[in-house]
Amino acid sequence: MAEMGSWMLLATALAGVNLLLLGVLTAIWLRNYRTFRSGMVAGLVAFGAVMFVENAVAVYFFFSMQSLYAMDPGVEQVVALLRGLQALALTFLTYVTVK
């Protein structure tokens, strides 16, 4: 197995941050759903769960398919950028949800 490049390491770390934020958000939304039984909150729970699975699968593929990403360093940078943007969006969403 090849050593993970710095961009992929960053993308993996950001996916881990996303998992943490999504775990917090989904827990809050699940608690709110149990209280209010609102369809809107159920949608938020589903959103959080799907995004959590997507990030978990991404981390798995970052480790298992490194050679696929290593074929083009530009791809690694774009993947890291996208994970970073997702982390920023989830940070804002977590902040307003917790507040």
- Residues 8-19: pLDDT tens digits? 899 999 999 999
Q: Give the chain's mean pLDDT.
A: 92
Q: What whole-number percentage of the chain has pLDDT above 90?
A: 76
Q: Is residue 1 domain-resident?
A: no
Tokens of 48: 């959080």
Q: What is the pLDDT, as a whole number, of residue 3?
A: 65
Judge whether 90 lies within some domain: yes
Q: CA angle 91-43-79, nearest 5°? A: 45
89 within domain boundaries = yes
**Domain membership flag for residue 75:** yes
pLDDT tops 60 at residue 1: no
**Does 92 fall in a domain?**
yes
Residue 13 lies in a domain: yes
Q: Which domain holds residue 48?
A: 7-98
Q: Alpha helix (H) ranges present in the chain?
A: 6-36, 39-64, 66-70, 73-98
CA distances to 9, 11, 48, 51, 52 from 37, in Å: 40, 36, 16, 21, 22
Instruction: Look at residue 2 in the predicted model and tell me its pLDDT.
Output: 53
How many independent structural domains does the chain possess? 1
Write down the pLDDT at residue 71.
Answer: 72
Report the pLDDT value the prediction gives residue 63, as an integer from 0 to 100: 86
Residue at 2 is within a domain: no
